[in-house]
Structures are given as structure tokens and as C-alpha cells.
Chains A and B, each alone.
Chain A
């Protein structure tokens, strides 16, 4: 598509990489790619713009992706349909990715470690969630008198939020692995064990 110029020559980096992307992918692939990590509802125009396609084409693919459960729809402020990635489909995808790489034994160990880490955040800061910690942080900044308290930094809040989200993916992976053991009749017969 960009035969006019040599690969290393470009007027604008944004145009150059867009042209490459468009030449290597279909509109469906780009729409799927953009919506895959769009976690807050957006309009079809926003998706079409990012996916370098028309709103009409984007809508067609988004509706197909909604039918297969990859996308969830809602009604926006002005009555139009909005789209975002289905959290359920994201969880299942991440769980499958984890199970390809990690054994259930290792997963069990790591989940225990991650739970311990989550508990230690709660006991260290005396709050149940990173959102509460963010409120504390604001209060601390406003009062300026919290010399006895630990300084709460944005990094801790982010680490806590990240841990909680990734623990959810790991838990889903382990649940699926365990469920499969008992649903898969052939394997159940050969390993001879009885579920507790």
C-alpha cells in the first residue's frame, strides 16, 4: 500500500504506521483489536476512527462481536449504541492464556502468594481496597498533618489495583482448570481419582 516510498522514508510517523497496519490487516481484525482493550463504553465513531475504517463497517463488525460475546453494548447519553469489551470474555481469554503456560500446582502456589500480598496491603494501610487508600491519600494531602502516618504514593495504589485484577484472572484460570478435571469424563476415568 505504501509502495510509493521506501520503508524507512515517511512524512509523518502516525500516517506511516497507520498505512502499514491497514495494509497488513482487515477492517474486522482492526475493529476487534481496538475493542479488545476498550474497557469503557465508547461510540462507534471512536472505534471506527481508531480502527481506520468507516462507522458503517465498524458497526457491522461490532454487532457481530457482540453476538459472539466478545463485546457488550449499552445505550449512550444521546440514545446511540455504545460498545466495550465484555469483561467475561476478557477473563476467559486471560485464563486460557495463563493455563497454556502455568501448571495448576504452580498456579495454586502463586495465587496463595498473591492473596498474602493483598492481605498485607490491607493490614499495612488499614483499609480494604485501593480506592479507600486513594481517599486516604487525598485526605492526607489536604490535612498535611499526617506525619505519623505512612506516606501513601500513587505507585502503591496502582500496584494494589494491578494485583487485585491479575489475581482475578489467576483465580479464573484455576477454577477453569479444576472444573475441567471433573467435567472431562475420559481423563477422570483414567486417573482413577474421585473428586473430594
Chain B
């Protein structure tokens, strides 16, 4: 294969030709991303008969566009009503929601769109040029390194998400233990199921997400008439319709370098199978705060607090497709569905694809580039209209959130039990929010719980039960040191700053 300008421009034109599937996919993705419980994986399963009927390149363009826009859509409710559409957007409300309360929802949404689109665009362009190299990253991460990556991610979340590290860690480890409900990986012996058969498969993540974020937020929301503060209402009434969008664009453009480097964090973490968008978003948020001149502004509606997680979680999209395209290993559920469609069309993924059919993996990534370009033009104008959601009184908003998100909890497994479980998590989330335990740490713990156990078991079985295996790899040890530093440094820096 010759990696020439002609080859790339040919791919670009071919991808542009798939506009007829990309544009509807962007719209569907935005909507399903914004509704907790309806992730891209569920939607792609529903739309499987449609994607299977398309020619393979068009089908991939459709799925990739839906995947990318769903990632972007998840930030919309996170900013507007403090409820992330997916766990990947769990760091976005830290600064997005305070901006909304100040009457700057339109600016916050615009920044989220710009960061998502350009973060994703930069990561996918870089992926095109470094695809074979990036594919090797996955080889260096085995079960030991993955255990440390997961614990490192959780620790970062605990440190970042609340002013009190101890409370953050309690929330995170509580989540990890909840995530370990259900069968173990060797004997399938049920653990801590409270006698419910429905928990024999483990805790459904969607019900946990909906309860911890949406139900608890609705329970809190009823205390006030509007989610906007008085100053926020005045600001919303005073600002001209399009000026706020431009202000958001200007705020993003001023911080362009921030979008660039956080997108690379997303790409790097996305390449590691299993790490995913939640960890990328929190790592980017933490790094952004660490290197900021004004770390005290984070959590109060600081623009960089929106740009960092949104750019990173869209950087993950191209990264997470790399193990699929180069090795045929799906990095997540959405990638697994893509693999089904690819196999249906008789394409065998693996290292030989670069010799036999190079236009396919590069074409998929080029489809992503085109999707992000389309997104910039189609979504930015919508910020103005979406921000109006904040004007709806909470007496209408809270019941609507409860009924529609509970339906989201039901849809993945079709168990009424999951709706009830969503309510239980809602009460836990409400207690946590009211008493200063960050709900993001709990949720990420629930998500990572099964992964931590799986990788830990693999490592221990390989070492025949020797726990020192966890300190046997160089990369793992470096990560352990970073984990320790992430716990020790913030209070030390805080004390030094106070002096």
C-alpha cells in the first residue's frame, strides 16, 4: 500500500459520499446520547437489520457517525440538568452545570460541541497517520497493568471529584464493591445478590447510572423552582440569541491548545482496551486542573473544566476503534457490534488487513474525520435552542426526568426489577449528593468493578495466587507510583499554596 496524498484524498471523497447515512446518524446519535440508558450500543443493535443491509463502507460510516455523535450528545444533559447521558460524560457536569446555573448554558454547550468535534477530529487525523504504531500500545497492557490502570483511574476520580479525598475514595470503593455483586469469573458463584435472581448477572450499569445521576438529581431539583440562579435568569433574559454561541466559540478558540492536548489523552487511553471514556475524561480533567494557573476555579463553571473532559472523551472514539481495526479485538460493546457487521460482510480483521484491504481501516477513520467535520456545522446552531431547556420550571422537569429515565433503565434487559433498582440507586445517590460524596466516583466504581476483578483474577491465576505479581511489571510499577503520587501530591500542593 502506498500512503500517499492521493490515497487519502480518495478516502476523503469516498467518505464524503456517505453523507446520506452520516447526517441521519449524527441526529440519531445526539438524541440517544442525550437520553441516559439509550447508549449507541443498544441503538446499533436495534438498527442492526438496517446496517446489515447497507454496503460495508456505508454501514461503517453510519455506525461510526452514530457512535461519535452519541458521545457528544451525552454532554448535553450533563451540562443542562446535571445528568450525564453516559458515564463518559460524568466529568462534564463539574463545570458545565455551574455555568448553566449562571445562565451560561448556551456558552457551555457551544464549548462542549467545539471541544468534542475538534478533539475527535484531531485524534482521528492523528490515528490515520499512526495506526500501525498505535496498535502496538495494546500489547504492553496485560492484566497486571490493567488492574493498576483501573485503580489509578478510580483514585484520580476520587481526588478530582470532591474536595475531600477520603470521601471520594469511600464513594469509589463502595462503587467497586457494588460492581462486584453477582457471579465470580471462575465458578460463577453468586455474591451479595440479596436473594434477587436479577442480580445473578451483576449490577446493570444503566440502572446504576440512571439512579445515581438522574433520579437523585430529580429528587434534589424539586427544592427549587428553576435550575437557574436569579443572576442566571437575568443573564439568560439579557443575552442576545446568537451572541452567546459566538462567545462560546471564542472561549474555546482562546483555549485551542487545551483541546489539542486533552484529545491526545483521550486517544492514548482509548487505545487500551477496557479503559474507556470515563477514565479518559477524568484523567484529562485532573491534568487540566493540575497544570492550570487557577485550579481553584474548577468546579465553579470554569471553561477549561468543560473543554478537557469533552475533548478527551471524543478522543477516545478513534482510539477505541484501533484494537478493532488492527487486531480484530473490540475494545467495547459498540465496537463488538461493529465487528458483527464487518464479519457479516466477510472482512477478516487483523494485521494482514493493511496488505489485503488497507482502504478499509483507513476509510473507517476517515469516515470519523468527515463525521466530526459535519458535526461542527450541524450542531453549533442547536446550542441556542437546547439551552432553553433550563427555562423549564422544575415542577415539569423533575417528573419528566423520572419517568423517561426509568424507561431507560428498563430497556436494556426488559426487567421491571431494573426500574426499581434505579430508584434504589437514586436514593443512594441522593444521600451521597446531600452529604458531599461525589456520585461520579460511585458510578465509575460500579462500572470498573467487574473489570478490576477480571484482570485481578487473570493476574493471580497466571502467578498461581502470588499477589506480588501486581508489582512485577515496569509499566505497572510506574503506574503504582503515579497512583501514590496522585493521592499524596494534591494535599501537599494545597498546603504549599495556602502558605
The reply to whether chain A is a binding partner of chain B is no
Chain B residues near A (Cβ < 8 Å): none
